[in-house]
Amino acid sequence: MASVLYSVNMNVRKRVGVLISGNGSNLQALINAAYGHDYPAEIALVISNKSNAFGLQRAAKAAIPTYIFDNKAYSNRISFEYDIDLVLRKADCDIVCLAGFMQIFSQKFTEKWEGRILNIHPSLLPCFKGLHPQRQALEAGVKITGCTVHLVTAEVDDGPIILQAAVPVKDKDNEASLSARILEEEHRIYQKGLAILANVLR
């Protein structure tokens, strides 16, 4: 009986495709969360646009299938996005998580996945969109910054906010020290944000 209940529970987990470009520490946080037997999502696959992204090794270690689509090898964005979309759909993914994926999707792609695509950004959106948000925060002289989990829409670093965490800026902070403290909070809230979305989609 216990094994029947267990398999039923596993079946309702939402299948997640995680897209990365680099280190993949947020990917690791999601992988770790998904080891929890009552976590409502599982990582079905990992896609990177960089063949040397360290996150690919993290995925392989967790026996998660990986795919590399090098955006530079494509003559246009439509075919790049087409291949990503195809792999996600073939694997029956319900949700897409951008985890340090440094590419911008077209409106066509974001509309296809509307309400089912999440991003983590290292600032308290709507402040400091785009590149180097931690540097932007230091240059602006704010005393509090943080990170945001939000749904992805056609506008970059926009879309409905799911969760945020505040991080105080210390007088002695530089970009590296501030980024490291924000990253700790990212790892904490991304898996919570994914669980919220997975439960909503049940």
The minimum distance between CB 202 and ligand GAR, in angstroms, equals: 26
Which of 13, 14, 26, 41 is the binder for ligand GAR (CB under 6 A)? 26
- Closest separation in Å from C-beta 153 to ligand GAR: 14
Question: Roughly what angle, to the nearest 10 degrees, separates helices 175-200 and 133-140?
Answer: 120
| Among 3-11, 23-31, 66-74, 104-112, the segment contacting ligand GAR (CB under 6 A) | 23-31
Structure tokens at 109: 């792609």
Any known ligand binding at 119? yes
183 belongs to the binding site for ligand GAR (CB under 6 A): yes
Tell whether residue 110 is a contact of ligand GAR (CB under 6 A): no
Tokens of 190: 């991304």
CA proximity to 162, closest of 202, 189, 184, 135? 189
Could you say which residues in the range 33-92 bind ligand GAR, by CB under 6 A?
55
Q: Which two tokens stand for residue 139?
A: 């240059």
Of 9 and 29, nearer to ligand GAR (C-beta) is 29
How far apart CA 97 and CA 110 sit, in angstroms, is 12
Position 186 contacts ligand GAR (CB under 6 A):
yes
State phi, psi for 78 to the nearest 5 degrees. -60, -45
In whole angstroms, what is the distance from residue 160 CA to residue 170 CA? 29
75 has binding-site annotation: no
Q: Which residues are catalytic?
A: 121
Pick out the residues of the known binding site: 24-26, 77, 119
